[in-house]
Amino acid sequence: MKVVLAYSGGLDTTVCIFLLRERYGFDEVITATVDIGLPESELRRAEERGKRYADRHYTIDARKEFLEAIHRLIKANGDYEGYVLGTAIARPIIAEKVAEVAISEKADAVAHGCTGKGNDQLRFENVFRQYNFRVVAPVRELNLTREWEIEYARQHGIEVPATKERPYSVDENLWSRSIEGGNLENPAFIPPEEIYEWTTSPEKAPERPEVIKISFEKGVPVAVNDRELEPFELVRFLNEIGGRHGIGRTDMIEDRVLGLKARENYEHPAATILITAHRDLERLVLSRRELKFKKIVEEEWAELVYYGLTNDPLYEALNAFIDKTQERVTGWVKLRLYKGSVMPVARGSEFALYSEELVSFDTKAIDQKLSEGFAAFHGLQGRIYQRLKRERL
């Protein structure tokens, strides 16, 4: 019996390799690590561990697919309740790649290391079940705790990244880094600086602000400071600059799909910079009504992504709308980065619906007197109501 395990090299999935043999009786455990823009060292560590502990290991490059997902997300200004979707956009891609391995290996089952409390089980399985695979989820099925897993690893001499002192569950990809668990589960506890790896604390960030320019073409970032960059490099570069300025930390209470509230900590410097810039450019080029309606679409979009329901036909329909709006989201935005904050300070576009000629205090292109009639009608019903209220209520 053969199983393919979605493998990150972390505590859960490493312990799973052993449990799949010991508790489920699989005689062949194959690990598959999917590269969604992991730091090189992380990827090598997962690969090394997979090769050491599993019967066979695959490392699959899905950076291209992941970048497409990031571009989709930027166009949709994707965030769920204030969480810049990161893990959520990676999961379906990882699941697809793992399923492909399982198909070519003619495996009897696929496995993941998700708990029964989070969202990731839902995101993985929605893809796995599409292929009618038997799904094995040891952490959920055996009702394991991180503490138990750390102890199990110790007893069996298995090398894992988590320790009793630092039991954090970390998930990272090119777009964001998420840290959960241990004392962070107490929402009243202020996280120690040690949980952050991508960002310096705003206090320690440079004393001088830095202004950067981001250029977009049809909603997709293409250049920084007028230098065209490969999509991958562009995100990496902004993670670095933003991280240096302490930009893109989130500490929040989040509503999981199951209904559980969770305390979440994230780092995502490039995401914060790019979405802030993209939103600003949209305000310049989209109409008032487009902006208002797109907000509703974005909320629906983010929820589908968060829930792992991107196979729903609604997702395609929303993307079609978003892509239509992005045809004119071409231009640039300058942002000031300073001690954890990112602030748009200038912008420009050939598609701007802005007219300096019309709006300026100093021009006469519009005869101001024309507005007098508008002002006479504006708020009419409210004025009538206020009078009625005074006289009749």
| CB of 133 vs ligand ARG, minimal distance in Å | 22
Token output for 88:
């959520």
Does 169 qualify as catalytic in the annotation?
yes
| CB of 89 vs ligand ARG, minimal distance in Å | 9
Write the DSSP symbol of residue 195: G
Radius of gyration of the chain (CA): 25
- CB closer to ligand ARG, 92 vs 118: 118
Token output for 163:
């320790």
Whether the CA torsion 342, 345, 351, 355 is positive or negative: it is: positive
Q: How many residues bind ligand ARG (CB under 6 A)?
A: 13
Name residues contacting ligand ARG, limited to 108-127 (CB under 6 A). Answer: 118-120
Closest CA relative to residue 81, chosen from 289, 313, 276, 298: 298
| Spatial distance between the Cα atoms of 14 and 12, rounded to a whole number of angstroms | 6
Token output for 327:
């045809």
Catalytic residue among 91, 123, 146, 347: 91
| CB of 381 vs ligand ARG, minimal distance in Å | 45
Site track for ligand ARG across 171-200, x = CB under 6 A = x------xxx--------------------
Catalytic residue among 35, 79, 120, 280: 120
Closest CA relative to residue 53, chosen from 13, 106, 97, 113: 13
| CB of 87 vs ligand ARG, minimal distance in Å | 4
Half-sphere exposure (CA, 13 Å, Cβ side) for 198?
A: 33
Of the candidate spans 68-76, 95-103, 165-173, 321-329, the one that interacts with ligand ARG by CB under 6 A turns out to be: 165-173
Name residues contacting ligand ARG, limited to 247-286 (CB under 6 A). Answer: 254, 264
| Spatial distance between the Cα atoms of 295 and 253, rounded to a whole number of angstroms | 22
Does 236 qualify as catalytic in the annotation?
no
Whether the CA torsion 177, 181, 185, 191 is positive or negative: it is: negative
| CB of 344 vs ligand ARG, minimal distance in Å | 27
For residue 58, the SS3 value is strand
Whether the CA torsion 234, 235, 237, 241 is positive or negative: it is: positive
- CB closer to ligand ARG, 195 vs 205: 195
For residue 377, the SS3 value is helix
Of the candidate spans 169-177, 223-231, 268-276, 361-369, the one that interacts with ligand ARG by CB under 6 A turns out to be: 169-177
| CB of 149 vs ligand ARG, minimal distance in Å | 13
Q: Kindly report the backbone phi and psi dihedral angles of residue 246, in degrees, each rounded to the nearest multiple of 5, phi listed first.
A: 70, 30
Catalytic residue among 8, 169, 176, 215: 169
Q: Are 281 and 333 in contact (CB under 8 A)?
A: yes
Token output for 148:
């138990």
- CB closer to ligand ARG, 196 vs 216: 196
Does 12 qualify as catalytic in the annotation?
yes
Which of 170, 205, 322, 335 binds ligand ARG (CB under 6 A)? It is 170
Of the candidate spans 101-109, 164-172, 243-251, 375-383, the one that interacts with ligand ARG by CB under 6 A turns out to be: 164-172
- Give catalytic residue positions: 12, 91, 120, 169
Enumerate binding residues for ligand ARG (CB under 6 A). Answer: 87-88, 118-120, 169-171, 178-180, 254, 264
